[in-house]
Structure 1
Amino acid sequence: MKFSGPLDELKRRTEEALAMGGEEKLAARRESGQLNARERLDILLDAGSFIESGMFARGIRPETRGKTPADAKVAGYGTISGRNVAVVSNDFTVLGASSSAINGKKIRHIRETATSRGMPLIFLGESAGSRMPDRMGGAGRAMLGQDPFEYLRSRKTPWVSALLGNCYGSSTWYSCMADFAVMRKGATMAVASSRVTSIAINQKVDPEELGGWRLHSETTGLVDVVVDTDQQALEIIRRFLSYLPSHAGETPPRCPVPEGSDETGEAVLEALPESRTAVYDVRAIIRSITDLDSFFELKARFGKSITTGLARIDGYSVGVIANNPKFKGGAIDIDAMRKATSFMVLCDSYNIPIVFLVDQPGFLIGVDSEKRWAPGRIMNWMNALSLVSVPKISVIMRKSYGQAYLNMGGGKNSHEVLAWPTADLGFVDPALGVHMLHKLKREDDPERFDALLADIRQDSSAWSLAALYETQAIIDPRHTRKTLKGLLKVHLGEGFVGQHALANWPTSY
């Protein structure tokens, strides 16, 4: 056969690269239930669509060149549901997927191609951090900072990160910059490993406490969704991307509406208690006004008094920001403020209209809130909301008190404000208002207290708001989905692309 020598060499080197860190390490992963870097791509991408970039890359130092197939990061392009994506999958079987001079070039090339060609970028993280020999001394310093845009997050295309093992160094950085992060239980994410941290602070450090899933899903809010297996994480990534466009210059794909989606109106009344002080889970209402099985919650364990998530209404992708009285009575705490602001950044960056579902008694105030910068968080939210250019529709279901009325899209902070007849507007709870205005408690004079309370409630009703044209419509709660469908068609037209003023908003703050 012609060219048998070069072709045999290609075959041999390809087999070397596909062997990754060797059968012993791959077998150990199989036994532990962890997929390897290439198996993850087989599940994530459409079958047969992967085009690899840099299969024959090797570590730059002589002592590592012979044991670094693909230099520990499997990179390239493929499709998800027929749409192009760019991927970097860390191969922990090769020197712990440590970051090096050469695989850093691979990441840069894939990232630049994704940005310039309008593709989502997906990082499948598992990394020991920097490869120390490459990073030591002056030569190691020269590796850093050669790409001035390495940490620029301009949100021209969606970035997604999966934390699927021990993630330190670049795996951590890219997760913190991503639009969406999913974490497998048992994985960790931190600046450095627990071993390195223990040495640095001369104290034993538990890996889970340092950077486990509970920390990042419940305390830091850096993780959006937690899963049990690699397979679940990869399926979650596919689902997340289905709500987003491939790049900021196009609209999200519109999907078929599942049968039965328009038959859920009565479920709204079933979910909403008749008592204005009774709590409920707003997610039941979200599911009753969105397309069947389309609600995809983000940061469910963090800032629980606000529920955020992607969904579809009449096939359109929408973002939902909803007060959830099940937690803290719906009072908006510091974590909920951060959660709502970051979610608005996501929606505005990728042309996803926002629906506010409002039932909040105001911000959770107190010494701890002030120490955690509550006024700044509130104004961060308002600043971001003022820059949001995608259509915003606010539905006032029950309470909407104080400054938070504006944060939840009240007044001109939404393009359309709807109210249910159950809406309760005011600065504070009416009973507290009687006490504040008249220095009167019910036990002091029940008859006078009830009369004053009735006056305040009437002035704070949906009808009072409608008379001032501060709400464009008062609707039967059962007609919410129908009304939203009509308004989305009005405001999205043939295809809405926003101004993206939030594209450079900090990824965490």
Structure 2
Amino acid sequence: MSHKEILEDFEKRKQKALGMGGPEKLAKRSEQGIMNARERIDYLLDQGTFLESGLFATSIRPELREKSPCDGKIAGYGKVNGREVAFVVNDFTVLGASSSTTNLKKMKHMKKVAAERGIPLILLGESTGSRMPDRMGSQGRATMAQDPYEYRRLRESPWVSALLGPCYGSSTWYTALSDFAVMRKGATMAVASSRVTSIAINQPVDPEELGGWRLHTETTGLVDIAVDTDEEAIDVIKKYLGYLPGHANEAPPEYPVPEGSGEDAEKILDILPESRNAVYDVRNIIKCIVDKNSLFELKPRFGKSIVTAFARLDGKSIGIIANNPQFLAGSIDTDAMRKATSFLVQCDSYNIPLVFMVDQPGFLIGIAGERQGAPGKIMNWCNAISLVTVPKMVVIMRKDYGQAYLNMGGGQNSHEVILWPSAELSFMDPSVGVNILHGIREEDDPERFKQLRDEIARGTSAYELAAYYEGHNIIDPRETRPVLIRTLEIYRKGKNKGVGEHLLRNWPTSY
């Protein structure tokens, strides 16, 4: 063949691969207002940075060669806001983006490059699950065993997943393994489709009930944020990655400090109620402290009595774990325990200093919590915090009771303990203590009850903790921002240049 003929054949093959599942399937998606795989890539990446890997990959089965451009998964490299990333985007128009021998080799290669080169891995999921011809019989079982490390996470670099349609099989597995997951409302994620599940259990199954966004943002906690469109999902991914380093051996990126940051410090005293039992939304206090418009909350619909969020202080990333009295009066349930622990792991893995904002009456006790394994989850959290090597700062705002005092960074579980004058330290609420120790209720003998409560409350103030040097500083709440900035400046110094030891790098991503 001549050069001309060779290049003509090349162009023909290239256009077929770029054509994905064909004009009819692409037009149908467009009518539904849903992006196709290559449109998602264009929206994700900085213009002109896309380098594809595996354009001419197809199914290993001869009868499917012509029907499987890119074998249903588009992979490659690009830049997001100027930073390198690797990605795999499922193309649902090609055999439902089902997982097969070839496209799993693509996935393996992208994971390897991301880990070795130190760049984030982005996975945009939409898949029917495993491709039956490739997975059936002994040959299918043998194919599955080709990579013993397929599901190993050592957090060399961040993994991010988006659920953008029906997600079964590998889309589900890799979402559960990711550091961050966003879901478009209307998408589903489950072990198997509602049809397969319905057949297996011999009863009708609603896809939304099986694996919809409410289930995964409110009940399982496997999804961090739910959004309405593909564009919003990709925007959230870009925002999330802005807080993280490209890999575990570098500090997170720094940004200019927005104008007006710190100007709302005076509002803290208006937001924090004078009564220690009055509720408020701790997120409003956090916003007064961190850089303006930098608060980025993870899992806001799950374990609501604790807020886990990224933010910036003086342009630098921090992770925040804060009790939120607006929900369950701040008491910590099992969902909040799981949420806090996984966030500790993520921050330590990617060199993000932690700030605890404390106002909690203890763990939520009761039969439901015990059935959900509360003691184990409390100890998982304690174990994790003892392994964290990034700087840990504690700001005790009001109540700090019981065992949760340790979980929220007390008792040498942090590097610096900062107290507000309103802080109160005890094993339990003094009023509850009167009932337990003396069997007296306030309505039975108000005067005696008050006397005993005051006796129990004696020695619970911030000044008492500071006297034992268990609290390193007592500050005006309005000074919290500059004190944290200066303290973190000190703790970021040193030979490690802001990089931790990563003792939690293989902690489970979901449990």
In 2, Cα distance between the equivalents of 1:207 and 1:448? 59
Matching residue of 1:386: 386
Q: Contact 1:265 / 1:479 at 8 angstroms: preserved in 2?
A: yes
In 1, Cα distance between the equivalents of 2:311 and 2:122? 21
Tell me whether 1:496 sits opposite 2:498 in the alignment. Answer: yes
Matching residue of 1:257: 257
Matching residue of 1:83: 83
| Structure 1 stretches lacking a partner, 5+ long | none
Matching residue of 2:310: 310
Q: Which amino acid is the alignment partner of residue 431 of structure 2?
A: A
1:271 deviates by 1.3
Q: Deviations over 1:190-218 (max 9, x none)?
A: 01100011111111100000000000000
Matching residue of 1:352: 352
Q: Contact 1:290 / 1:313 at 8 angstroms: preserved in 2?
A: yes
Tell me whether 1:213 sits opposite 2:213 in the alignment. Answer: yes
Which sits farther off after the overlay, 40-49 or 432-441?
432-441
Q: Which amino acid is the alignment partner of residue 49 of structure 1?
A: T
Where 1:508 maps in the other structure, the secondary structure is coil
1:493 deviates by 1.7
Matching residue of 2:455: 455
Matching residue of 1:118: 118
In 2, Cα distance between the equivalents of 1:409 and 1:131? 48
Matching residue of 2:410: 410
In 1, Cα distance between the equivalents of 2:238 and 2:66? 35
Where 1:14 maps in the other structure, the secondary structure is helix
Where 2:443 maps in the other structure, the secondary structure is coil
Where 1:41 maps in the other structure, the secondary structure is helix
Q: Contact 1:184 / 1:213 at 8 angstroms: preserved in 2?
A: yes
1:2 deviates by 7.2
Q: Deviations over 1:21-71 (max 9, x none)?
A: 011100110111110011001111111111000000011101110110111
Q: Deviations over 1:357-384 (max 9, x none)?
A: 0010000001111111110010000000
Q: Which amino acid is the alignment partner of residue 206 of structure 1?
A: D
Q: Contact 1:458 / 1:464 at 8 angstroms: preserved in 2?
A: no
1:269 deviates by 1.2
Where 1:273 maps in the other structure, the secondary structure is coil
1:268 deviates by 1.2
In 2, Cα distance between the equivalents of 1:194 and 1:185? 17
In 1, Cα distance between the equivalents of 2:306 and 2:335? 9
Q: Which amino acid is the alignment partner of residue 241 of structure 1?
A: L
| Structure 2 stretches lacking a partner, 5+ long | none
Q: Which amino acid is the alignment partner of residue 127 of structure 1?
A: S
Q: Deviations over 1:250-286 (max 9, x none)?
A: 0000111101102121121121111111100111011
In 2, Cα distance between the equivalents of 1:457 and 1:171? 53
Q: Which amino acid is the alignment partner of residue 104 of structure 1?
A: L
Tell me whether 1:12 sits opposite 2:12 in the alignment. Answer: yes
Matching residue of 1:67: 67
Q: Deviations over 1:306-340 (max 9, x none)?
A: 01011101111000000000000000000000000
Q: Given the two structures, how large is their TM-score scaled by the length of structure 1? A: 0.99
Q: Which amino acid is the alignment partner of residue 424 of structure 2?
A: D
Matching residue of 2:426: 426
In 2, Cα distance between the equivalents of 1:332 and 1:252? 30
Q: Which amino acid is the alignment partner of residue 498 of structure 1?
A: G
Alignment RMSD (CA, Å): 1.1
Matching residue of 1:45: 45
Tell me whether 1:482 sits opposite 2:482 in the alignment. Answer: yes
In 2, Cα distance between the equivalents of 1:213 and 1:424? 39
Q: Deviations over 1:335-363 (max 9, x none)?
A: 00000000001000000011000010000
In 1, Cα distance between the equivalents of 2:272 and 2:247? 38
In 2, Cα distance between the equivalents of 1:312 and 1:270? 23
In 2, Cα distance between the equivalents of 1:458 and 1:261? 38
Matching residue of 2:167: 167
Where 2:292 maps in the other structure, the secondary structure is coil
Q: Contact 1:305 / 1:323 at 8 angstroms: preserved in 2?
A: yes
Matching residue of 1:505: 507
In 2, Cα distance between the equivalents of 1:77 and 1:50? 6
In 2, Cα distance between the equivalents of 1:55 and 1:442? 75
* Structural mapping, 1:147-162, within 5 Å: 147-162=147-162
Q: Which amino acid is the alignment partner of residue 432 of structure 1?
A: V
In 2, Cα distance between the equivalents of 1:503 and 1:253? 20
Matching residue of 2:466: 466
Q: Which amino acid is the alignment partner of residue 220 of structure 1?
A: T
Matching residue of 2:94: 94
In 1, Cα distance between the equivalents of 2:133 and 2:18? 25
Q: Which amino acid is the alignment partner of residue 24 of structure 1?
A: E
In 1, Cα distance between the equivalents of 2:472 and 2:218? 37
Tell me whether 1:222 sits opposite 2:222 in the alignment. Answer: yes
In 2, Cα distance between the equivalents of 1:444 and 1:76? 72
Percent of aligned positions with the same letter in both sequences?
65
In 2, Cα distance between the equivalents of 1:388 and 1:456? 34
1:453 deviates by 2.2
Matching residue of 1:136: 136
Q: Deviations over 1:436-488 (max 9, x none)?
A: 23333333433333233223323111111111111001111111111100111
Give the number of equivalent residue pairs: 509
Where 2:145 maps in the other structure, the secondary structure is coil
